[in-house]
Amino acid sequence: MQELHDAPLAPLTTFRLGGPATRLVTATTDDEVIAAVREADATGTPLLIIGGGSNLVIGDKGFDGTALRIATRGLEFSGPSRTTLELAAGEVWTDAVARTVAAGLAGIECLAGIPGSAGATPIQNVGAYGQEVSSTITEVIAYDRRSGETVTVPNADCAFSYRHSRFKQDPERYVVLRVRFQLEDAGGLSAPLKYAETARALGVEAGDRVPAAAAREAVLKLRAGKGMVLDPEDHDTWSAGSFFTNPILTAAEYAAFLARAQDRLGPQTAPPAFPAGEGLVKTSAAWLIDKAGFTKGYGTGPARISTKHTLALTNRGAATTEDLLALAREVVAGVHAAFGVTLVNEPVTVGVSL
């Protein structure tokens, strides 16, 4: 177990932002992870779990406690047709996706290119291009800080929803150690494509299957065009991906929003609206931001909106976390003033809030 003091955290995040941690521990086995967590809990030391740092906004003052970087490794296929996959929390997610596609399996191919660790995927139920990990995760093996035991949480008990789970709901309780997935052997084909943009890019219809490798490559290409694949040379990717979640509105809230939008932009205006269950409507945060006047590349300071995607706030190289938060607050206030909808940040904030 490696241990550093007064250790910079910015290089461990994709924003490259945030001050130092009093102590930074890197754990490479489950036992090391558990030992570090137990020690912090026994001494009442605040604990920050870090995977790939791609969904973290750490304050400029840093973190006064133990930052625990999970660097465990392990990828194993099992089961009669080798379609069960177990990943150690520290595995690099996008590499694991590539391995499943190379093994001819379907189920997570459209989640290629999402940065970060396998262990973080259940936290916000990562999703993109028509797939979410909640559809393929069977179990999450986690250390439960309340009971001091390692527990197996079946999918049904993970309380997965859009960019949410019981792990995100109760962040002080679980440390994910391993994640198990049930994939599909479709003879090298992908799962049916759910996302129209991916199907279009592949020249097929939504619902069709294509070779899983082709689906993965199409998604990677679409993502790269939006600055959603990490590239150290490209400041558009010095981000946390989407900074805001898509708002989910009640029917009454949506009606009020629609009236505001038509009033502002003309009677023909039809903001994106997708059924989100129980009479709820999901609209698009990117649409709201753009129509409120925050277009691609918005900003003059060291933190700006990506030049490739309205939903990504980015560090142009010399930003501080306060610069980023000032931009985020400006966007939230502008969208609220224009449409009466309050945007909620997707990344986890540490020592700061919007």
Residue 242 is among the residues annotated as catalytic for this protein: yes
Residue 163 is among the residues annotated as catalytic for this protein: yes
CB of 120 to ligand FAD, least distance (A): 3
* Identified catalytic residue from 163, 178, 180, 304: 163
Out of 20, 107, 241, 351, which residue is the one contacting ligand FAD (CB under 6 A)?
A: 241
Cα within 13 Å of Cα(187), Cβ side = 2
Residue 39 is among the residues annotated as catalytic for this protein: no
Instruction: Note whether 310 binds ligand FAD by CB under 6 A.
Output: no
Out of 70, 261, 292, 327, which residue is the one contacting ligand FAD (CB under 6 A)?
A: 70
* Identified catalytic residue from 69, 242, 304, 306: 242
Instruction: Note whether 141 binds ligand FAD by CB under 6 A.
Output: no
CB of 236 to ligand FAD, least distance (A): 9
Out of 237, 283, 306, 314, which residue is the one contacting ligand FAD (CB under 6 A)?
A: 237
Instruction: Note whether 71 binds ligand FAD by CB under 6 A.
Output: no
Instruction: Note whether 306 binds ligand FAD by CB under 6 A.
Output: no
Out of 71, 105, 108, 175, which residue is the one contacting ligand FAD (CB under 6 A)?
A: 175
Contact mark string toward ligand FAD, 119..138, x via CB under 6 A = xxx-xx-xxx----------
Give the footprint of ligand FAD on this chain (CB under 6 A): 14, 49-56, 70, 89, 114-117, 119-121, 123-124, 126-128, 171, 174-176, 228, 230, 237, 239-241, 348
Active site residues: 163, 242, 346
